[in-house]
Amino acid sequence: MIPVAPFAQVTPAASLTPPDDTPSITLGVTLYTDYTYQDSPQIENADGNTINPNQFNVTRAKRDPNDQKAIEIRGTVRPLATGASLLRGWRVTGFYFGDNYIRASERTRGVFQTTYESKYLNAGFDYIDAHDQTSITARDIHSKGPSFWVNPKKPYSNGSSVELLFRYDHLNPDTSTDEARPRTIVGLAYWFPHSGNLQTTLMLDYDGQTFKNFPTAQLSQKKIAIHGQVIF
């Protein structure tokens, strides 16, 4: 026998390509853009003309606006991870976010979420419970409400897919009142065929929101938007 020094390696199984375990650092970027057209309500511009607001949205990172630090806790379980393949996509998640606008002025969010993911359908239900006290002298406002969404999709062999989105929210922004902000979103998205690590998508959606039982009457909002996303 001839002694051979051992080497760390991945031993491939028959007909399988072993994973590349070479240490590496990969950089990626995700870009979000969208154009929004507001169908109603219309507004008047500086010249007194009635117009439909529209905008191209660009966001940027901001510094922490105060000296208060936040805490976030998230936990997820898959109750049927070892069950039938059709049920393995069910997840249950709890999320808590605790922060302060300023010292002793809370800004907290508690979220219960359950989702289902599969090849042809994603769906989810969220329930949020929040507290906001913008200053020490301000009233601590308690808000809560459910959100439901469903996302049927048709994937193709080249990596592209066509997807629909329906989402409905019903938020009570102040539980000491009967105020409500129902919101409905309906959208159509197309994921372009994959090109290496590049993923791109376009989405057209309608966003409608109404305001019920507010002390000051507010007009319903109707918006149409085109969203774009690039990931690489």
Are 141 and 109 contacting, i.e. CB atoms less than 8 angstroms apart? no
Specify the pTM: 0.74
Backbone angles phi, psi at 114, to 5 degrees: -130, 135
Tokens at 189, concatenated:
């998205």
Tokens at 217, concatenated:
């009457």
In this prediction, what percent of the chain has a pLDDT beyond 70? 81
DSSP of 209-230, one letter per residue?
A: E--BS-SS----EEEEEEEEEE
Q: Where are the domains of the chain?
A: 73-231
pLDDT by residue (tens digit) across 49-108? Answer: 888 888 877 554 455 556 667 888 999 999 988 888 888 899 999 999 998 888 888 889
Residue 16 pLDDT grade (very low, low, confident, very high; cuts 50, 70, 90): very low
Helix (H, G, I), strand (E, B) or coil at 86: helix
pLDDT by residue (tens digit) across 34-48? Answer: 888 888 888 887 777
Taking the alpha carbons at both ends of the chain, their separation in whole angstroms is: 50
- Other CB atoms within 10 Å distance of the CB of residue 146: 14
Nearest Cα to Cα of residue 161 among 123, 116, 199, 115:
199
Beta bridge partners of 34: 57, 227
Nearest Cα to Cα of residue 131 among 178, 79, 96:
96
219 Cα distance to chain centroid: 26
Measured between alpha carbons, how far is 97 from 73 in angstroms, rounded to an integer? 7
